[in-house]
Amino acid sequence: MCLGILLGGHETTATQISLSLVALLAHPAQLARLRSDPALLPGAIEEFLRFVPLSGSLPPARITAEEVTLGGVTIPAGELVFPFFGIANRDPSVFPDPDTLDVARRTGSHMGFGVGAHHCLGAQLARIEMQEAFRGLLGRLPGLRLAAPADQLRYKEKMAILSIQELPVTWDS
């Protein structure tokens, strides 16, 4: 249990911060908008959680507790399902223009922290940690930018979540 809390409470948040920073730096207009209006930060964090997937691999399996119909397909109780939250977070019926990062988006109910009985227990702490990380990065490091092309970033291998080995950045003094 302690290992689960440590990994779930540190690795995922640290990874979400670094991947969200890469996404933000890849969208200079959004970076400028967030810098010019720091009041957007709480909503921007929700947008990062929606827009930036932590994993591209097969999600943890779930078993239906009761019969459910989704998209016209009936899934009986007791069936194994694999909920792809990253796809749900790009649903155009919930998020207009879902493939666009928008730090001012009024984010609906994204699934960045899971849902229901599997909702992340540390969601509020992760939100606060992300807000403070971005408040510091954007407030104290003017001209923050990647020091290497995003497509040259190296990711840790054999990890359940996408995790950058190192994130080279530079900024103006």
Domain ranges of the chain: 2-56+86-170
pLDDT of residue 9: 74
Q: What tens digit of pLDDT does each residue of 18-37 get? A: 999 999 999 999 999 999 99
The architecture in CATH of the region 2-56+86-170 reads: Orthogonal Bundle (1.10)
Model confidence pLDDT, tens digit, residues 71-97: 899 999 999 988 777 788 999 999 999
pLDDT given at position 57: 63
The CA-atom distances, in angstroms, between 94 and each of 5, 23, 51, 99, 108 are 31, 21, 13, 12, 7
Tokens 């078993």 found at: 63
Tokens of residue 65, six digits: 């507790």
pTM value?
0.87
Amino acid, res. 105: R
DSSP code for 157:
S
CA distance 18 to 161: 12
**DSSP secondary structure, 15-30, as one string:** HHHHHHHHHHHT-HHH
